[in-house]
């Protein structure tokens, strides 16, 4: 407590009036977090007592937007579980980015009626271009730092997908592909690894996106999950040399279109028997049996099954505990759904920078939320053996 009082007195003596309030807020926030961490660990820093139940594990930096200005925080991390200070607002950045996009559309005079209504409702009709520019620059810097951060460690599982948004370009309204990558590392934690805006989902665009990820440090990828886009499949083979998993959900939609309305339920039940098998060998055997059974009546559907077998059943060669999360793009589809929900407010973006600003802020905050979740996305005991780094492999349990 004496050290805290001395630090507080130093702030009062050295800070100018303009900075005093912001530094006082930062000091108080750090002290609050230290007290919370002390309660969660059962001991003060460096203290060895029987009551200790957890250990500190470094810090992660985060900026806190307050009315007194931007406060830089060092949020403590725990060796077991996670910690997130209750006084922070996890969705503040995304809301600020949405406001910036709406304002930018308004000051450029290219907003839609829905955006005009939002501007009036939010009381922003008097906003100036310089104010919007300052807000955009602030958010862009944080989003850029997040999307260009180094990628460390091994990432056995990678989900990639794209969603389309409308943007103004050269006086026309066009659709652009927002490409997103989500992965799980050998600590069992899930993160957003990157985002790119492209004109389409052509192979060169996917190839360059994956190469950017590898330049930032992506390695150790064993399985890539996506929909059946030839550009993705070719890019994965070229850049990552990993196994490719075709989304099972998308495959079922495609294949059932050939079954006819009356046969969809039966065909779906037949194919599901292959997915219910315990081993890759049993799944392949059952898959071929189903294809042979329907071949006389629906030969085209059977041919599709023949071609798709290795890609749709690729996930079966991975640990049983992971399969429910590996067979489809559902983990990233939910993220895309949230992006769509939030971007529908804007409708048509004024430019591609505005797309990157809002979507990037949404991804940053989703990443933060995943970082503070108590449970791992996949358990450490089942995913650590997939690492290429022998240092992080778990030791074998003695018989």
pLDDT tens for each residue of 71-107: 888 888 888 877 878 767 555 665 565 566 655 554 4
Tokens linked to 197: 């805006």
pLDDT > 70? residue 50: yes
Q: What is the pLDDT of residue 8?
A: 47
Tokens linked to 384: 């650590």
Measured CA to CA, the distance from residue 276 to residue 42 in angstroms comes to 46
- Residue 265: CB atoms within 10 A of its CB come to 11
Arithmetic mean of pLDDT, 166-184: 92
List, for residues 219-237, the tens digit of each pLDDT value: 999 999 999 988 899 999 9
Measured CA to CA, the distance from residue 52 to residue 49 in angstroms comes to 6
Instruction: State the pLDDT confidence band at 260, using cuts at 50, 70 and 90.
Output: confident
List, for residues 335-379, the tens digit of each pLDDT value: 998 888 878 877 888 889 888 988 988 898 899 888 877 788 998
Same domain, 77 and 8: yes
Q: Are strands 69-78 and 157-169 parallel, antiparallel or unpaired?
A: unpaired
* Of the listed ranges 174-188, 212-226, 276-290, 351-365, the one predicted with least confidence: 351-365
64-88: b (≥16 Cβ within 10 Å) or e: beeeeeebebebbbeeeeebbbeeb
Close Cβ partners of 160 (under 8 Å, ≥ 6 residues apart)? 179, 180, 181, 182, 206, 209, 210, 224, 225, 226, 232, 332
Same domain, 62 and 97: no
HSE-CB for 321 with a 13 A CA cutoff: 10
Same domain, 75 and 96: no
pLDDT > 50? residue 51: yes
pLDDT > 60? residue 108: no
Residue 81's region, left for phi above 0, alpha for psi from -120 to 50, else beta, is left
Q: Between 384 and 238, whose confidence is greater?
A: 238
Closest CA to 27 of 79, 82, 81, 68: 68
Q: What is the pLDDT of residue 3?
A: 56
Q: Are strands 157-169 and 172-184 parallel, antiparallel or unpaired?
A: antiparallel
- CA 218, 222, 226, 227 torsion: positive or negative? positive
* Of the listed ranges 200-204, 286-290, 391-395, the one predicted with least confidence: 391-395
Same domain, 74 and 98: no
Q: Between 103 and 313, whose confidence is greater?
A: 313
Closest CA to 346 of 116, 109, 108: 116
Question: For residue 383, is it within any domain?
Answer: no
pLDDT > 80? residue 119: no
The one-character DSSP state at 128 is -
Question: For residue 172, is it within any domain?
Answer: no
Query: What are the helix and strand counts (H, E) for the chain?
Result: 15, 8
Q: What is the pLDDT of residue 221?
A: 96
Instruction: State the pLDDT confidence band at 394, using cuts at 50, 70 and 90.
Output: very low
Q: Looking at 53, 68, 88, which one is the last position of a domain? A: 88
Measured CA to CA, the distance from residue 285 to residue 348 in angstroms comes to 49
Q: Between 160 and 128, whose confidence is greater?
A: 160
Question: For residue 99, is it within any domain?
Answer: yes
List, for residues 28-47, the tens digit of each pLDDT value: 788 888 888 888 888 888 88
Q: Looking at 36, 57, 88, which one is the last position of a domain? A: 88
**Percent of all residues in the chain with a pLDDT value above 90, rounded to a whole number:** 41
Q: Looking at 294, 327, 360, which one is the last position of a domain? A: 327
Range of the domain at 303: 248-327
Close Cβ partners of 14 (under 8 Å, ≥ 6 residues apart)? none
Q: How many domains does the chain have?
A: 3
Tokens linked to 30: 């750090």
- Answer yes or no: are the C-beta atoms of 90 and 365 closer than 8 Å: yes
Same domain, 100 and 62: no
Question: For residue 174, is it within any domain?
Answer: no
Q: What is the pLDDT of residue 1?
A: 47
Question: For residue 238, is it within any domain?
Answer: no
Same domain, 62 and 10: yes
Question: For residue 268, is it within any domain?
Answer: yes
Question: For residue 47, is it within any domain?
Answer: yes
The per-residue pLDDT of the chain, averaged, comes to: 82
Closest CA to 136 of 92, 103, 165, 90: 103
């Amino acid at each position: 407590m004496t050290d805290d009082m001395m630090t507080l007195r130093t702030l009062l003596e050295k800070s100018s009036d303009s900075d005093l309030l912001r530094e006082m807020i930062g000091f108080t926030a750090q002290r609050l977090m230290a007290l919370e961490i002390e309660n969660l660990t059962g001991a003060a820093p460096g203290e060895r007592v029987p009551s200790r139940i957890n250990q500190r594990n470094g810090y992660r930096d985060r900026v806190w937007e307050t009315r007194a200005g931007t406060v830089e925080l060092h949020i403590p991390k725990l060796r077991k579980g996670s910690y997130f200070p209750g006084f922070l607002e996890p969705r503040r950045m995304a809301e600020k980015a949405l406001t910036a996009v709406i304002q930018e559309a308004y000051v450029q005079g290219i907003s839609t009626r829905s955006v005009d209504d939002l501007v009036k409702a939010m009381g922003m009709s008097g906003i100036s271009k310089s104010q919007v520019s300052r807000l955009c620059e602030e958010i862009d810097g944080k989003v850029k730092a997040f999307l260009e951060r180094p990628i460390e460690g091994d990432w056995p599982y990678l989900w990639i997908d794209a969603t389309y948004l409308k943007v103004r370009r050269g006086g026309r309204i066009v659709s652009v592909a927002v490409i997103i990558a989500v992965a799980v590392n050998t600590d069992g934690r899930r993160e957003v690894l990157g985002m790119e805006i492209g004109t389409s989902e052509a192979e060169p665009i996917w190839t360059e996106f994956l190469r950017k990820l590898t330049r930032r440090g992506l390695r150790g990828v064993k399985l890539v999950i996506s929909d059946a886009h030839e550009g993705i499949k070719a890019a994965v083979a070229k850049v990552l040399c990993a196994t490719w998993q075709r989304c099972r959900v998308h495959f079922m939609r495609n294949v059932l279109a050939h079954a006819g309305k009356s046969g969809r339920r039966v065909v779906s039940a037949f194919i599901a028997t292959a997915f219910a098998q315990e081993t890759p060998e049993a799944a392949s055997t059952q898959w071929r049996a189903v294809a042979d059974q329907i071949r006389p009546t629906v030969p085209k559907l059977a041919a599709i099954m023949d071609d798709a077998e290795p890609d749709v059943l690729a996930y079966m060669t991975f640990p049983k505990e992971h399969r429910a999360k590996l067979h489809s793009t559902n983990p990233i589809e939910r993220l895309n759904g949230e992006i769509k929900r939030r971007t529908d407010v804007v409708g048509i973006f004024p430019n591609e920078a505005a797309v990157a600003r809002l979507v990037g802020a949404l991804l940053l905050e989703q990443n933060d939320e995943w970082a503070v979740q108590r449970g791992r996305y996949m358990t450490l005991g089942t995913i650590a053996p997939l690492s290429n780094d022998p240092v992080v492999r778990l030791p074998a349990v003695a018989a």
